[in-house]
């Protein structure tokens, strides 16, 4: 009797990768990106919100 090898790939295995985003140049509040590996798309913000950024002086005062 011959052994048969079956390669089964589940969708969870296919989606379990680190995305490699290629992002459009900034031209407005968001830029679209597409994963080089799986083709997924995502919108990326082109700015930092006030709460996302702290100046060196604010950092020193908070310490």
Please state, in angstroms and rounded to a whole number, the distance separating the CA atoms of residues 13 and 17. Answer: 8
Please state, in angstroms and rounded to a whole number, the distance separating the CA atoms of residues 27 and 22. Answer: 15
Q: Give the residue with greater pLDDT, 37 vs 52.
A: 37
Reported as a single tens digit per residue, the pLDDT across 1-39 is 566 565 555 555 555 789 999 999 998 999 999 999 999
Q: What is the DSSP string of 20-62?
A: -EEEPPP-SSEEEEEETTT--EEEEESS--GGG---HHHHHHH
- The structure's pTM equals 0.51
| φ, ψ dihedrals at 13, nearest 5° | -70, -40
């Amino acid at each position: 009797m011959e052994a048969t090898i079956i390669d089964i790939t589940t969708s969870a295995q296919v989606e379990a990768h680190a995305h490699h985003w290629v992002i459009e140049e900034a031209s407005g509040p968001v830029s679209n990106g597409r994963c080089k590996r799986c083709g997924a798309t995502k919108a990326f913000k082109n700015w930092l919100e006030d709460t996302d950024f702290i100046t060196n002086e604010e950092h020193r005062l908070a310490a």
